[in-house]
Amino acid sequence: MAPKLERFTSPGKGNGLRATGRIRKGEPVYSAEPLACCVSNKAARQVCHHCFTRCESLLRCSQCKMARYCDTTCQKRAWSGHKRECKCLRSLLPRIPTDSVRLAARIIFTLVRLRSLAPSLYTLEEHESHLSSMSPQKREGLSQLAAMLQLYLQQEVPNLTQEMTLVIPPSCQEPLSLIAKVTCNCFTISDGELQEIGVGLYPSLSLLNHDCRPNCVMVFEGTKLHLRAVQDISPKEELTISYIETVSLTVDRQRQLEEQYHFTCHCQRCDSQDMDGLMLSGDEAAWRPMKEALPRLGELQAEFDWQAVLEGCSSLLLPDGGAVPDENLYKLRVTDLALDACVHLAHWEEALRYGEKTLPVYRQYYPDPHPVHGVQLMRVGKLHHYLGHIEETMDTFTQAYEIIKVTHGSAHPLTCDLRGKLEECRADCKKHIHRL
């Protein structure tokens, strides 16, 4: 099959990818396995380090005590990639290197193991490090990561040094340069419900440029990345994704893009600042406490102190006579945190109340078809289903399916799971009607 994308020079942006022909909304554009990847430290105890599947019970590597696997089959298949890493992890115990350090090391191990790589649209040598445009503070932070990488690799350096000079591009042999390339070009690997489970480097897709209202989305099946169109795309039109969470103020999006990716976004949404007024709607004196509380609520979430999260959110979300509408950005974030807390605490009816409040706002901020809106509809549908609300479950799952089949594709496990839930609901409806 002829490729649907090609590399080109994007005006004002440098390298980019564009469509070779017409692409319809919902079509798959490109799929790729990573050059290298690793499970995130935060998900290390819940996700298989080979197939990236979530499991309640995982087998732990008896040597490094960190890598975990579904079963012995995954453990055996992972060994060729884990062998060198295992020795490095053991040398640092009980310390665990950051995700970016582990990914950089895995890139080195992969290049040494494979010796040569399949052709790609964008070589590792071509990847931008942006070191010359970095602030001194960021460069210092990356220098510390580079020092950690050297320490991490110390157990393997005598065996690696000669091999590295033969197979690793010159610009990647310097640890600081490699770490900079990794942090600027890697992708977060997420599960079907868009929760982070790992990081990976997908060289050809590093060419994709950012837009705050992109025409493509990335979804994953295990470690395999699928690029899918969420708008109709014309021949020679640039393919874009969003590098960041787009439901935030223009000034915050631009700051994050400049700090992390070293460019200023001039997309239509940034230039018009079209959603900022809605995101800041309401009485500032009433919503400012929500904004100021979010960092601490985030800390409590990271500590899994769900009771404290819920208490904090509940006090902020007390009836205010409409002083802060549901569309306010900070109210939405607090409501989402309250939903998460209720789910973890098994407060199902309260969770449903918070979830229902978010749906009209998600519909405004995540124009369909958007995977974030689809997944939120699924979450609310599951709550309806658990509480026995048959008609509401059918309605919510149907809305979710119309989005997910476009963003994830009809064969994705999440879509198949949702289709199964819809069939189960239809059967429940028939039983309910028969009883009547």
Band (158; pLDDT cuts 50, 70, 90): low
Cα–Cα distance, 182 to 398 (Å, whole number): 39
Q: Output the six-digit token pair for 245.
A: 């969470």
Is residue 366 within 8 Å of 372, Cβ to Cβ? Answer: yes
The 8-class DSSP code of residue 47 comes to B
Model pLDDT, residue 195? 95
Residue range(s) in the chain whose domain bears CATH number 1.25.40.10 = 278-434
Model pLDDT, residue 358? 98
pLDDT, one tens digit per residue, over 365-414 is 998 899 999 999 999 999 999 999 999 999 999 999 999 999 999 999 99
State the average pLDDT over residues 53-60.
94
Q: What are phi and psi of 29, to 5 degrees?
A: -105, -40
Band (160; pLDDT cuts 50, 70, 90): low
Is residue 28 within 8 Å of 243, Cβ to Cβ? Answer: no
CATH architecture of 34-185: Orthogonal Bundle (1.10)
State the average pLDDT over residues 53-78.
95
Model pLDDT, residue 331? 98
Model pLDDT, residue 368? 86
Q: Output the six-digit token pair for 42.
A: 């935060």
Cα–Cα distance, 32 to 47 (Å, whole number): 20
Cα–Cα distance, 257 to 344 (Å, whole number): 32
Model pLDDT, residue 270? 96
Q: Torsion over CA of 413, 416, 418 and 421, rounded to 10 degrees? A: -130
Greater confidence, 427 or 295? 295
Band (114; pLDDT cuts 50, 70, 90): confident
Model pLDDT, residue 436? 54
Report the predicted TM-score, pTM, of the whole model to 2 decimal places.
0.93
Cα–Cα distance, 27 to 415 (Å, whole number): 15
Residue range(s) in the chain whose domain bears CATH number 1.10.220.160 = 34-185
pLDDT, one tens digit per residue, over 28-53 is 999 999 999 999 999 999 999 999 99
pLDDT, one tens digit per residue, over 1-16 is 679 999 999 999 999 9
- pLDDT of 274 over the 70 cut: yes
pLDDT, one tens digit per residue, over 288-330 is 999 999 999 999 999 999 999 999 999 999 988 889 999 999 9
Q: Output the six-digit token pair for 369.
A: 């078809």
Band (117; pLDDT cuts 50, 70, 90): confident
- pLDDT of 131 over the 80 cut: yes
The 8-class DSSP code of residue 13 comes to T
The 8-class DSSP code of residue 237 comes to P
Q: Output the six-digit token pair for 315.
A: 């006090």
Helix (H) or strand (E) holding 37: strand 36-39
Cα–Cα distance, 154 to 248 (Å, whole number): 42
What is the pLDDT of the chain when averaged over all its residues?
A: 94
- pLDDT of 268 over the 60 cut: yes
Residues contacting 271, CB < 8 A, separation 6+: none
For the domain made up of 278-434, the CATH class stated in words is: mainly alpha
pLDDT, one tens digit per residue, over 216-238 is 999 999 999 999 999 999 999 99
